[in-house]
């Protein structure tokens, strides 16, 4: 019996040893000649968010809030910078590349001015996600994906809304020269409105002059019964201009702020096209974290759309509370 027990113990010991070598906890060594085993990056991810917004802009403050909240929740270091000048924005991108950030989030109102800087970031191995503007150039520049509102689709929805309201002649107010997204909004509005659409160029940097130009347009052409502004700040100027001349034109706008919420409640603005820009700050940080930690790419080669969502009197009370806290 003792010999049989000894043999059994030897057999069991051998099986246990074999299990230890082949079980799921065994360390797998790379084959001879192969590269080192892939390891998951460690340490906090550092992401630079670089927009074409201006300091204190209500719209871009919400984008910043989204990015920073994602950073807090995910343990990502988020650094937000902005500059409305395309050349200066390109320099901010170059600086972030030189500092070897772990990811870049860039809005492209003027894609051509940023092309070289973004491509240099991609060549340096820095993953890039574009937001807000420049959707059609994003993939070509090497970005992982684009997060934002399709401006043509959003413009179409605004034009359709005015058409449903029975409007016949629409004025589309462009406030930033060279911004491809704004041109797409007006083109979309023309398609959706399917009527007479004119454009007016103003300068958002000179609000008084912008109001004067809108006032002059509606006063000169009394058949203008709809005004579409592409920015919440310009919307307020349009409302003042229309009231000053006693025009019956109604205002619709892109983007929300507390003033627009109040204007919708008061009936001075009939609707706002909300692109939910909080998501444009929040989602790219989340996507870059997933990409670094799990090699995930979101969108399947298509942009991730955050809008449009039309806000009017029927929804303004619900949405307005989030505008007040800086997340819509």
pLDDT band at 42 (very low <50, low <70, confident <90, very high): low
Q: Does residue 64 belong to any structural domain of this protein?
A: yes
Residue 41, in any domain of the structure: no
Q: Which pLDDT does position 297 carry in this prediction?
A: 97
User: From CA 136, how far away is CA 40, in angstroms rounded?
Assistant: 32
Distances (CA, A) of 170 to 125, 142, 213, 247: 46, 38, 15, 13
> Do 284 and 219 have their domain in common?
no
Tell me how far apart the alpha carbons of residues 120 and 291 are, in angstroms, rounded to a whole number: 19
Check whether residue 260 and residue 292 sit in a common domain: no
Same domain, 270 and 158: yes
Residues 74 and 168 in one domain: no
Task: Give the model confidence (pLDDT) of 142-156 as tens digits.
Answer: 999 999 999 999 999
My answer on whether omega of the bond before 132 falls inside 30° of 0, hence cis, is no
Beta bridge partners of 309: 274
Residues 180 and 83 in one domain: no
pLDDT in tens, 82-105: 999 999 999 999 999 999 999 999
* Domain match, 87 and 230 both: no
Question: With bands split at pLDDT 50, 70 and 90, how would you rate the model's confidence at 10?
Answer: very low
CATH label of the domain that carries residue 246: 3.40.50.2300
**pLDDT of amino acid 29:** 39
Do 101 and 160 fall into the same domain?
no
174 forms beta bridges with: 201
Tell me which of 200 and 16 has the higher pLDDT.
Answer: 200
Q: Is residue 305 part of a domain?
A: no
Mean of the pLDDT values across residues 213-230?
A: 97
Q: Are residues 71 and 165 in the same domain?
A: no
Full 3-state SS string of the chain: CHHHHHHHHHHHHHHHHHHHHHCCCCCCCCCCCCCCCCCCCCCCCEEEEEECCCCCCHHHHHHHHHHHHHHHHHCCEEEEEECCCHHHHHHHHHHHHHCCCCEEEEECCCHHHHHHHHHHHHHCCCCEEEECCCHHHHHHHCCCEEEECCHHHHHHHHHHHHHHCCCCEEEEEECCCCCHHHHHHHHHHHHHHCCEEEEEECCCCCHHHHHHHHHHHHHHCCCCCEEEECCHHHHHHHHHHHHHHCCCCEEEEECCCHHHHHHHHHCCEEEEEECCHHHHHHHHHHHHHHHHHHCCCCCCCCCEECCCEEECCCCHHHHHHHHHCCCC
Q: Which domain holds residue 193?
A: 151-274
Domain presence at residue 29 = no
Same domain, 283 and 142: yes
Average pLDDT over residues 162-179: 95
User: How far apart, in whole angstroms, are the C-alpha atoms of residue 70 and residue 117?
Assistant: 25
141 in the same domain as 202: no
Residue 41, pLDDT score: 59
Over residues 45-77, the pLDDT tens digits come to: 999 999 999 877 888 999 999 999 999 999 999
My answer on whether 127 and 178 are in the same domain is no
Residue at 5 is within a domain: no
* 204 and 60 within one domain: no
Does residue 19 have a pLDDT over 50?
no
Pairing of strands 103-107, 128-131: parallel
The answer to the question of residue 309 being in a domain is no
3-class SS letters over 134-180 = CHHHHHHHCCCEEEECCHHHHHHHHHHHHHHCCCCEEEEEECCCCCH
* Number of domains, the chain: 2
Decide if 138 is inside a domain: yes
**Any domain includes 124:** yes
* pTM of the full structure: 0.79
């Amino acid at each position: 019996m003792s010999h049989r027990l000894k043999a059994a113990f030897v057999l069991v010991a051998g099986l246990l040893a074999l299990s230890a070598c082949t079980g799921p906890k065994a360390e797998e060594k790379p084959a001879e000649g192969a590269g080192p085993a892939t390891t998951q990056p460690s340490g906090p991810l550092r992401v630079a968010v670089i927009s074409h917004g201006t300091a204190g802009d209500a719209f871009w403050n919400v984008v910043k809030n989204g990015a920073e909240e994602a950073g807090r929740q995910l343990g990502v270091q988020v650094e937000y910078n902005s500059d409305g000048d395309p050349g200066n924005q390109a320099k901010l991108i170059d600086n972030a590349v030189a500092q070897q950030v772990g990811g870049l989030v860039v809005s492209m109102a003027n894609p051509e001015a940023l092309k070289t800087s973004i491509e240099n970031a991609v060549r340096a191995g820095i993953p890039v996600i574009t937001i807000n503007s420049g959707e059609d150039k994003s993939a070509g520049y090497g970005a992982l994906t684009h997060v934002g509102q399709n401006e043509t689709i959003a413009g179409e929805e605004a034009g359709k809304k005015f058409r449903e309201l029975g409007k016949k002649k629409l004025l589309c107010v462009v406030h930033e020269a060279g911004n491809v997204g704004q041109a797409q909004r007006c083109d979309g509005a023309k398609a959706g409105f399917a009527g007479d659409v004119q454009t007016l160029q103003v300068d958002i940097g000179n609000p008084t002059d912008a109001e004067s130009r809108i006032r002059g347009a509606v006063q000169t052409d009394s058949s203008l019964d709809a005004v579409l502004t592409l920015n919440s700040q310009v919307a307020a100027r349009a409302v003042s201009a229309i009231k000053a001349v006693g025009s019956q034109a109604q205002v619709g706008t892109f983007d929300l702020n507390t003033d627009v919420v109040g204007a919708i409640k008061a009936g001075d603005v009939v609707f706002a096209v909300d692109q939910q820009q909080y998501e444009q700050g929040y989602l790219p940080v989340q996507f870059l974290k997933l990409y670094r930690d799990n090699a995930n790419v979101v969108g399947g080669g298509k942009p991730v759309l955050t809008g449009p969502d039309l806000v009017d009197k029927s929804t303004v009370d619900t949405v307005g509370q989030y505008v007040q806290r800086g997340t819509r």
